[in-house]
Amino acid sequence: MRYQLYYWSGIQGRGEFIRLALEDAAASYDDVARDQGDDAIVPFLDGVHHGDLPFAPPFLKVGRMVIAQVANILQYLGPPLGLVPASEGRRLYAHQLQLTISDLVTEVHDSHHPIASGLYYREQRKEAARRAADLREARLPKFLDYFEQVLKRGGGQHALRQHSYVDLSLYQLMAGLDFAFPRAMQRLGRDYPLLRALGTRVARRPRIAAYLDSPRRLAFNQDGIFRHYPELDDPA
């Protein structure tokens, strides 16, 4: 099976959660917009294609199927890629955890675009400062406490007592937070040793390490979800 991933070409964004799963499993896939340009996405958003209608990328084309939303895509990919346990209960729990990760990713995005995605950051800096402060002081600890507890209940090594797409997504989440809020994460990070250790293990997985060292892994930048604005981080 060869998969076709559609996501904007110049950023990691939400598409990176899918890429990590595909790379870890050595799956055959085309990163379509990187090969053909972002215009390849537009017909799907306009409904000029076969298959169901996605609202926005990322989406995955598998034969005639078009599957959108990160958690939904990973729920589909988990079994064939061997990245989720076999039992229905564990698959549902994996999906629950991925949806919770998606909730935090949205809050991170809204920390620098709290008013409107269509406005530039410079047009909402005052509001962003308030939103980012709440994220750093209240929301990040709440989410990270939860994920640390998930790992503890999972035996300390994995979210689901075995390697899964949730582990890969937690790695990406922590990497993005370290880029966006380095001072805050340095302050908070010591409280989450299991999350930190998980990130180290994921980064050392042979296929992930090779991917991270390749040009396919784009750097975090100021156009993606995780953006570093020093004024939104902890005071120096």
Of 74-78, 186-190, 207-211, the one with minimum mean pLDDT is 186-190
Q: What per-residue confidence (pLDDT) applies to 50?
A: 79
The average pLDDT across 17-34 equals 98
Indicate the Cα dihedral angle 81, 86, 89, 92, nearest 10°: 10
Mind giving me the DSSP string for 97-147? HHHHHHHHHHHHHHHH-SS-TTS-GGGSHHHHHHHHHHIIIIIHHHHHHHH
- With contact defined as beta carbons under 8 Å apart, do 4 and 30 qualify? yes
The average pLDDT across 123-145 equals 97
The average pLDDT across 113-127 equals 95
The average pLDDT across 172-196 equals 96
Indicate the Cα dihedral angle 26, 16, 53, 77, nearest 10°: 30
Could you tell me where the DSSP H helices lie in the chain?
15-24, 32-36, 42-45, 70-81, 88-112, 125-134, 140-153, 165-180, 182-189, 193-204, 206-212
Residue with tokens 């998606």: 102
Per-residue pLDDT band for 189 (boundaries 50, 70, 90) equals confident
CA 211 vs. chain centroid, Å, equals 16
**Residue percentage of the chain with pLDDT more than 90:** 96
Q: What per-residue confidence (pLDDT) applies to 93?
A: 98
Give pTM, 2 decimals.
Answer: 0.96
Q: What per-residue confidence (pLDDT) applies to 95?
A: 98
- With contact defined as beta carbons under 8 Å apart, do 193 and 145 qualify? no
Of residues 236 and 72, more confidence is placed in: 72
Q: What per-residue confidence (pLDDT) applies to 214?
A: 97
Domains of the chain and any CATH numbers: 88-205 (1.20.1050.10)
* Residue pLDDT, tens place only, 201-211: 999 999 999 99
* Residue pLDDT, tens place only, 26-49: 999 999 999 999 999 999 999 888
Q: Position 15: which residue type?
A: G
Predicted confidence (pLDDT) at residue 1 exceeds the cutoff of 80: no
Dihedral of alpha carbons 157, 151, 25, 31, sign? negative
CA 127 vs. chain centroid, Å, equals 24
* Average pLDDT along the chain: 96
Q: What per-residue confidence (pLDDT) applies to 151?
A: 98
Predicted confidence (pLDDT) at residue 228 exceeds the cutoff of 90: yes
* Residue pLDDT, tens place only, 141-152: 999 999 999 999
**Residue percentage of the chain with pLDDT more than 70:** 100
In whole angstroms, give the CA distance from residue 186 to residue 159: 23
- Tokens matching residue 136: 């750093």
Q: What per-residue confidence (pLDDT) applies to 26?
A: 98
In whole angstroms, give the CA distance from residue 167 to residue 162: 9
The average pLDDT across 61-79 equals 97
